[in-house]
Amino acid sequence: MRKKIIAGNWKMNNTPLVAEQFINEIKGSINTDEVDVIICPNDISLQTVEEAIEGTYIALGAQNVYFEDKGAFTGETSADMLLAVNVKYCIVGHSERRQYFAETDEMVNKKAKKLLEKDIHPIICVGETLAQREAGDMFTIVENQVKEALAGIEKEQVKRNVVIAYEPIWAIGTGVTATAEQAQEMCAFIRQIVAKLYEETVAQSVRIQYGGSVKPNNANEILTMPDIDGALVGGAALTNDFVAIVNYEK
């Protein structure tokens, strides 16, 4: 049985002060260990959130990492820096990073490998644009993204430590959610790709989230689909809606 994993991606929102206040507001209502709950603040707020979540059921995630260990890479954050503040998960290859910061599949792969080397779970994002879906290319696009992101990663790592997030770009921040059936279809397809790349036991263990306009009113339907093991939540993670999503009807 795969444990569900619900992660809140705050994106470029919340100063440390707001972050702390918000965690204090929600932490008492997140009292289940049936679900892994992750909050991914901006780097500036990581340490504050780390302190605020102490003794709670919330774990810390980051939104990005650089794949080199250290050196002259102005503006970047290393995996060791994330480890220093107890980051357990890190999003890689979010579509906003691919779109606005020219992140390629190769970079996503290097980042995922670096995180695994440091015992941080990568949450690898994949997903097609609306044009790609309308052209019927979504399966090819997602298959390539998954293959390239996982290139050279050992099966034990995929089995135990990798999380994949299917995030159709047309559903992110738009209020348009993929139907639960569309989300299930693609998550099942991703699981098949993992089975082909590795073996069935790996596919049955890897956790695959759906992300894109997940809200309290659709969380239940999405999260009870057989191949959807959780959600990556953007906008709704900034409000009390996040609590309602975590406490969806299991």
Stretch of 79-87, 115-123, 130-138, 207-215 contacting ligand PGA, by CB under 6 A: 207-215
Q: Toward ligand PGA, which CB reaches closer, 115 or 214? A: 214
Per CB under 6 A, the list member of 36, 103, 167, 241 interacting with ligand PGA is 167
DSSP-assigned beta bridge partners for residue 39: 8, 60
* Residue 167 annotated as catalytic: yes
Q: Toward ligand PGA, which CB reaches closer, 183 or 214? A: 214
Residue nearest ligand PGA, Cβ-based: 234
Q: Does 212 bind ligand PGA (CB under 6 A)?
A: yes
Q: How far is CA 34 from the centre of its chain?
A: 18
Q: Does 45 bind ligand PGA (CB under 6 A)?
A: no
Cβ–Cβ under 8 Å, residues 80 and 70:
yes
Q: Does 8 bind ligand PGA (CB under 6 A)?
A: no
Stretch of 14-22, 45-53, 199-207, 209-217 contacting ligand PGA, by CB under 6 A: 209-217
Cβ–Cβ under 8 Å, residues 74 and 43:
no
Q: Does 93 bind ligand PGA (CB under 6 A)?
A: no
Q: Toward ligand PGA, which CB reaches closer, 127 or 198? A: 127
Applying CB under 6 A, what is the total number of residues that bind ligand PGA?
A: 13
Q: Does 217 bind ligand PGA (CB under 6 A)?
A: no
Whole-number Cα distances in Å, 108 to 32, 142, 189: 31, 14, 20
Q: Does 52 bind ligand PGA (CB under 6 A)?
A: no
**Which of 94, 96, 121, 128 is labelled catalytic?**
94
Per-residue x/- track, 114-153, ligand PGA (CB under 6 A): ----------------------------------------
Residue 68 CB, nearest approach to ligand PGA (Å): 25
DSSP sequence for the chain: -PPEEEEEE--S---HHHHHHHHHHHGGG---SSEEEEEE--GGGHHHHHHHTTTSSEEEEES---SSSSSS-TT---HHHHHHTT--EEEES-HHHHHHS---HHHHHHHHHHHHHTT-EEEEEE---HHHHHTT-HHHHHHHHHHHHHTT--HHHHHHH-EEEE--GGGSSSSPPPPHHHHHHHHHHHHHHHHHHS-HHHHHHSEEEEESS--HHHHHHHHTSTT--EEEESGGGGSTHHHHHHT---
Per CB under 6 A, the list member of 48, 64, 161, 213 interacting with ligand PGA is 213
* Residue 106 annotated as catalytic: no
Residues carrying an active site annotation: 94, 167
Residues making contact with ligand PGA (CB under 6 A): 9, 167, 172-173, 211-214, 232-236
